[in-house]
Amino acid sequence: MLRFLASIYDTLGVTSPVFLVGKLLYREVCDQNQSWDKKGPEYIERKWKQFEKNLPDQVSVPRPTTAFQEAIDAIDLQAFGDTRGTGTAAAVYDMVHQASGSNQRLLAAKARLAKNALSI
């Protein structure tokens, strides 16, 4: 689990809200206080396999914020966040308005596990 989660290279955090689920499962294993070579509980292993199965094979995020090669009329930034007892996630989008139309793109995202026994 740790090797898989640590192998994700995502500087902008675009996939971090998705991998928050995997980090929660890893925390649950760590809370068992078992030795490293001991196999984890069966129910966590089932949840982990389901988590891996639901992940896409590849994620591609287009980096250009404009859809057309023309002047930009306006740019709006929109930020969304959500928090609960297990973690916090946020995402920032831009909406670019041009003469030919408008489009929006995900600029950055971030997700963190909440500290254990911390109330909101």
- Per residue in 16-54, pLDDT (tens digit) is 878 888 999 988 888 888 777 778 788 999 999 999 999
Q: What is the mean pLDDT of residues 51-64?
A: 83
Evaluated on CA atoms 106, 12, 85, 35, the torsion sign reads positive
C-alpha to C-alpha distance for 2 and 19, rounded to whole angstroms: 12
Q: Which of 60, 70, 66, 73 is nearest to 105 (CA)?
A: 66
- Percent of the residues in the chain that have a pLDDT greater than 90, as a whole number: 25
Averaged confidence pLDDT in the chain: 86
Tokens 């966590």 sit on residue: 44
At 119 the pLDDT is 61
- pTM across the whole model: 0.72
